[in-house]
Amino acid sequence: MKLINKLSPLFNNALKSHKGVVLTLALASLLSYGGLTENKSAAAVPGTGITQLSQRPQTQSNNLPRPIANQILRDASKRSGVPRREVKITQVTAKTFGNPCEFNFGEICTKEYNPIEGWEVVVRVRQNSWTYHVNKSGTQIVLDPKVSTSQTLPRAIANAILSDASKRSGVTINNLKITQATAKTFGNLCIFNFGEVCTREYRPIEGWEVVVRVRQNSWTYHVNKSGTQIVLDPKVKI
């Protein structure tokens, strides 16, 4: 009401002239739509005269440094045989791993708190998702050992396995067949050697799990990446 009383003389003077009709209509329109009404909706900080603005809560940064991202992508490309340009990081999550066991994907870990700051990174390789753990400096990059990569078993290693199976079974190589070869990361030497009770110590061995058809039976071998270690499952009956 105070604002309207102040504007009343303006209306009276405007009515005295022909052009004042336009001004009168304009002022009436502003009052009707609230253009000149007093705004009391802003929340002011008492005693400062500064309007308080709402702020979005800050979240923890998931930004992965480019050099570390490149290291992970190169590793995934090398393991899979997929060109670097076709491998893509789809998810990055900043994490504090409770201890080295958790960082190394241990399934049974102690509750010891020896934190490692870093990230959990998911990489798209063809139709599969590979999970990596990497520390903040990028000096430790670990692929989930459960990931089944898809590298091709080198012919020389395949021949070495078939020769071993032939020697043990007495069946000629021509009558033996590799039915499955899966690239694997064995957690440690005990697991590589088909140990039934192994520690969770993480000393990875890159290689393959290979299944050979011998007559009506399937023999499972573990072989390292260089082919210098070839181990037949001790449960196989020869």
Residue with tokens 């308080």: 52
For the segment 199-224, what is each residue's pLDDT rounded down to a tens digit? 888 889 989 999 999 999 999 999 99
Residues paired with residue 43 on neighbouring β-strands, in sequence order: none
Write the DSSP assignment of 72-114 as a string of letters.
HHHHHHHHH---GGG-EEEEEEEEEESSHHHHTT-SS------
Q: Which two tokens stand for residue 61?
A: 């940064």
Which of 14-28, 48-62, 121-135, 144-158 has the weakest average pLDDT?
A: 48-62
At 35-85, the pLDDT tens digits run 444 444 334 344 333 334 334 333 345 799 999 999 999 999 888 878 899
pTM of the model: 0.45
Distances in whole angstroms, Cα of residue 66 to Cα of each of 24, 72, 75, 90, 123: 64, 10, 14, 14, 14
